[in-house]
Amino acid sequence: MKCLFFSFNGVCQRKMRHWLLFVKTIDLSFSGLVQHDQIKDEIIKQNALPFLLDCTNKLTGRALVLICETLWCLIFVEEIACALRANSDFLQRIKTISKDSNDEPLKKAAGGLVWKLIQGT
């Protein structure tokens, strides 16, 4: 099977499908995993942050909640927090979500990101 590439920070379409399946399958367990320092270190080492940020623009529903919760856990690593603070599009998106979303879990996760990244500086 051929892997079709498109502008996704070098991630192929097949990987995105696998990520979506992973998100649906693992759901809340992932939030627990990402709290471990080894996982955080590996996310930095693998340069996965651009991929996670891209997911915030592509995903909806529970998958978006999971990505926001994951990023919320990750922002306690200063290197990740600095990278997120430097991304004005991401900051604007989470501010908007935290104010306007009707999805309470999403609003809570985005609000946590806003609190730590903007108000907590």
pLDDT band with cut points at 50, 70 and 90 for residue 9: very low
Domain carrying residue 31: 13-119
- Yes or no: say if 26 and 57 are a contact pair by the CB < 8 Å rule: no
Q: Please check the confidence at residue 68 and state whether its pLDDT lies above 90.
A: yes
Sequence-ordered list of residues with C-beta below 8 angstroms from that of 1, at least 6 positions apart, any chain: 14
Give the range among 3-12, 17-26, 38-47, 63-72 with minimum mean pLDDT.
3-12
Comparing 31 with 92, the larger pLDDT belongs to 92
Identify whether 1 is part of a domain: no
Q: Please check the confidence at residue 73 and state whether its pLDDT lies above 70.
A: yes
Dig out the tokens for 72 from the structure.
């919320």
* pTM of this structure: 0.74
pLDDT of 17 reads 63
Identify whether 78 is part of a domain: yes
Identify whether 56 is part of a domain: yes
pLDDT of 118 reads 87
Identify whether 98 is part of a domain: yes
Identify residue 71 by its one-letter amino acid code. L
Identify whether 4 is part of a domain: no
Identify whether 104 is part of a domain: yes
Domain count within the chain: 1
Q: How many other CB atoms are found less than 10 A from the CB of residue 84?
A: 20
